Structure 1
């Protein structure tokens, strides 16, 4: 059997780990919320863009440039849907998106009246590339009106080539930045961020659009409020996707704690990286835990090894999760959607797993995961020799 140089005792390997969940979210404490809840008690303004939610949006906008507008919404899926609707795209046209993404991306496309067109991703960044979309314009089974790029698990793409694609082709471009709260610093491409409890900055349920396009921001806002535009008259078909003052309170408390919590995420991620240094067949996303933080630890294993490693880890009490499964296109909900060649997506789906990760994961837990993962990799047998050897 292959050995990856793991220093671990036989006693540690002989017994299973204490049950370890793959995620353990942490939202602001009751003490942190109390000042904002007292403000809510004083105003008795509980929804419809009261002072707490307005302040929360303003503080989010301050993270970006002075021309960036922020529109909060019930969740990021709604944010993607309403943004696509606000772009006035031809109904029934294709929306290009990566097959390697969470199902919410494709659900939003369908809810907006478009057809998902699944394309492959780059094997190193796990991202859809603008050139792939450009090439697909020629052979697509119908007109492509928009493209959604995804920041995989929080890793931000280079937006400059996407701006060039938009300028060159006229395609509308939208960024699904659900997990990229930390790394999203500007929004020249409209970006939708999730505020779900499982994200690094969570409020329970929620999301927001960040964009430099003030007209788009107004259109999305209108679609979150029954089509109202400064009156009680509904001007367009819309929905109710507002956040409440309670959500605003949680958001403000979360922002108060963000600088400290970001350091906690960094510290934990760096401890995980250090614990797995001796496992050369475990690959991290570029910059994970060093340049940017996120709330999950998705690692790439040897090709096709995910199922076998997961089985062994789970037997040891280490919970895992393939957050994006085998690729969005494999879900029955999207069985009839067109797609291109998905070789890299299929490879990633069979090789990427989520390991236990939380803001307060301690060294003992990290060590237990590292030992269990090393044992699981050893059981795979020796790695194949390098090409050309």
Structure 2
């Protein structure tokens, strides 16, 4: 398959209804931030996540920001976030005027270490007003234990489920275990709307306030305002695509499971590659299959080898607390993020990845050899 079309890391898996619904937007002249597809998409995502309310947003970052604001997080408050996450998680906290408190991940899950969360809350007391739990790579965090700890200290829980639509925790959709949950529909996500995000919650008050702030703080149809707001609204075009994608979500997740199973078999007995661990109580959507190498050097060698042979591969997240932008903020680290930092390689995981392409990728991985990992995961 060498020299054929480059195999992308992630690409949208689009069907007939995406085009059909987009065409309806144009024929009906509903192409902006109002239109019937937005409300329908909101209702169906709320139903899917088993929440009472949802609010469509321009992206997941604005959804996280709105969630913090409507839940009452104030400037100067501490908000716990995992050290291993996308920058949007911490940036939303900073946008809200709060202070990110970076906590290490659990070596058994690579999600936020809930035991360390409890230690930080016990130490800092009422300075901690919220915890953002990220479902890394689509793999659900330990939400029951985290919820129990946060409820004990009266601390808010927000789920950053940006990459986790379709993932389950004890058989239930992620997003419903926090006080608020946020999904992303960016072009690289399992369910894409081209762009956009969605807040889900059981609080009518918070949902109404989030919708108001995302509409410039406008009260009704008149140009009267009592809240500082922004334009964080989703367009009807994006909602149309998202709605069509939601109809096929289960199928796309099944395809990703099949892809992950093939990768699992390929690296099962290897000493130089390890897949991200998955909790037995959770079912990941397997958004982006990634493998851990022995070092940043090996990671770069693997990426270069795959790229040279027409396969896109990339390094995944880096520790935020070590970066100049975030190094001044408080943290509680025990070395787990350090142990995987800049050594994790993401592999092509599109739900429409064909069998021939997948086998070609696996054949390349089979022919590559790195150094054995010293840490046992």
TM-score range relative to shorter protein: 0.7 to 0.9
**Correspondence 1:160 to 2:144:** yes
Aligned to 1:7: none
Q: How does 1:1-389 map to 2 (within 5 A)?
A: 20-29=6-15, 31-41=16-26, 43-65=28-50, 67-140=51-124, 143-184=127-168, 185=173, 187-189=176-178, 190-232=180-222, 233-287=224-278, 291-302=283-294, 305-324=298-317, 326-377=318-369, 379-380=370-371
Once superposed, what is the RMSD of the aligned Cα atoms? 2.8
Residues 178-221 of structure 1: per-residue CA shift (max 9 Å, x gap): 11101151513111010011000001110101111222212211
Q: Give secondary structure in 2 for the equivalent of 1:97.
A: strand
Distance in 2 (alpha carbons) for counterparts of 1:60 and 1:51: 15
Distance in 2 (alpha carbons) for counterparts of 1:38 and 1:320: 34
Aligned to 1:6: none
1:322–1:352 contact (8 Å) kept in structure 2: yes
Q: Give secondary structure in 2 for the equivalent of 1:71.
A: strand
2:316–2:342 contact (8 Å) kept in structure 1: no
Distance in 1 (alpha carbons) for counterparts of 2:148 and 2:219: 33
Structure 2 portions without partners, runs of 5+? none
Distance in 1 (alpha carbons) for counterparts of 2:102 and 2:305: 32
| 1:315 CA displacement | 4.5
1:48–1:242 contact (8 Å) kept in structure 2: yes
Distance in 2 (alpha carbons) for counterparts of 1:110 and 1:24: 29
Select between 192-201 and 142-151 the one with higher mean Cα deviation.
142-151
Distance in 1 (alpha carbons) for counterparts of 2:330 and 2:23: 52
1:95–1:116 contact (8 Å) kept in structure 2: yes
2:7–2:357 contact (8 Å) kept in structure 1: no
Query: TM-score, normalized by length of structure 1?
Result: 0.84
Change (3 A) 1:17 1:115: farther
Structure 1 portions without partners, runs of 5+? 1-11
CA radius of gyration, larger in: 1
Query: TM-score, normalized by length of structure 2?
Result: 0.87
1:271–1:363 contact (8 Å) kept in structure 2: no
Residues 283-325 of structure 1: per-residue CA shift (max 9 Å, x gap): 223449x94323311122336643443344444444321221x
Select between 238-247 and 356-365 the one with higher mean Cα deviation.
356-365
Q: Give secondary structure in 1 for the equivalent of 2:85.
A: coil
